[in-house]
């Protein structure tokens, strides 16, 4: 762990939910881009966190403010620590299908700019102090998420996206996904999917695979890199290493060490 990053703890709260505590000391802004694969929320406790999402627009999050990202939302962020303190953020990811938040033909997204509740703020401070119990934290996070999302019937393109969500480790056949979306042409489907979500179906599946691989590096330290690659759908380990490094900026082994 570098001098600019003093703490990066991740905890499995139970089925379908994880938490993180991220403390950083960089004075110059650090930037990152990504794609959310679950319902993500982060409370800023110290420092500034600038973020723009494909749903929410650009905003500067200062201490006490909460950012949220919905599934399949792309985002860009920049963050820096206040001199002389470190920056500190506590956040959570909830995977809707794993917590039975949505039905087979439903989609879910955060409402715009939900305000943090006193209970959520207290939970984040307790997590930062290593004083929170995972099962109690999961219950509180699910209460907050359930109260601040909208669930709606899926359109054909979202139905295809949810098919990828559930089967990302399997082979992807664009023609089959086009049929799920009610389209006869795979080319037309890929174009419409990219216009709707800002990413092609093939790239979206790759992002899901690599995000799940990253989670497994710290959540399942008993697994080898080869086993992780196979679990998320890569049948070529060298290709997996290259794809992981290109996506996450580091190797699977280094990512796992950093996040424990």
- Sorted by where each begins, the domain ranges of the chain are 5-152, 156-259
Question: pLDDT digit string (tens) for 196-246?
Answer: 888 999 999 999 999 999 999 999 999 999 999 999 999 999 999 999 999
Q: For the chain, percent helix, then strand, then coil, each to nearest 5?
A: 40, 30, 30
Below-70 pLDDT ranges, the chain: 1-5, 259-260
Q: Which pairing describes strands 48-53 and 87-94: parallel, antiparallel, or unpaired?
A: unpaired
Q: What does the alpha-carbon distance between residue 30 and residue 128 come to, in Å, rounded to a whole number?
A: 21
| CATH, domain range 156-259 | 1.10.10.60
pTM of the model: 0.85
Alpha-carbon distance of 39 to 41, in angstroms, equals 7
**14-40 as b/e, with b when 16 or more CB fall inside 10 Å?**
bebbbbbbbbbbbeeeeeeebbbbbbb
Q: Are 34 and 93 in contact (CB under 8 A)?
A: no
Q: Does domain 5-152 have CATH number 2.60.120.10?
A: yes
Which residue's entry shows tokens 């401070």?
A: 125
What are residue 68's DSSP bridge partners? 41
């Amino acid at each position: 762990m570098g001098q600019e990053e003093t703490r990066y703890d991740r905890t499995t709260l139970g089925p379908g939910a994880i938490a993180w505590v991220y403390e950083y000391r960089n004075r110059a802004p650090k930037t990152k881009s990504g794609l959310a694969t679950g319902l993500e929320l982060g409370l800023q406790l110290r420092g500034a966190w600038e973020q723009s999402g494909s749903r929410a627009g650009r905003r500067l999050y200062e201490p006490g403010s909460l950012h949220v990202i919905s599934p399949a939302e792309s985002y860009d962020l920049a963050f820096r620590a206040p001199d002389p303190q470190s920056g500190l953020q506590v956040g959570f990811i909830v995977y809707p299908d794993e917590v039975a938040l949505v039905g087979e033909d439903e989609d879910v997204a955060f409402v715009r700019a939900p305000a943090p509740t006193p209970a959520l703020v207290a939970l984040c401070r307790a997590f930062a102090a290593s004083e929170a119990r995972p099962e109690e934290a999961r219950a509180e996070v699910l209460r907050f998420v359930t109260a601040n999302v909208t669930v709606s019937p899926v359109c054909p393109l979202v139905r295809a996206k949810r098919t990828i969500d559930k089967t990302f480790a399997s082979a992807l056949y664009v023609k089959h996904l086009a049929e799920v979306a009610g389209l006869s042409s795979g080319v037309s489907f890929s174009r419409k999917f990219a216009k709707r979500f800002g990413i092609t179906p093939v790239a979206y599946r790759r992002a899901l695979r690599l995000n799940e691989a990253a989670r497994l590096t710290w959540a399942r330290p008993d697994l080898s890199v080869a086993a992780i690659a196979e679990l998320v759908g890569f049948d070529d380990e060298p290709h997996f290493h290259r794809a992981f490094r290109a996506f996450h900026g580091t190797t699977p082994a280094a990512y796992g060490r950093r996040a424990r």
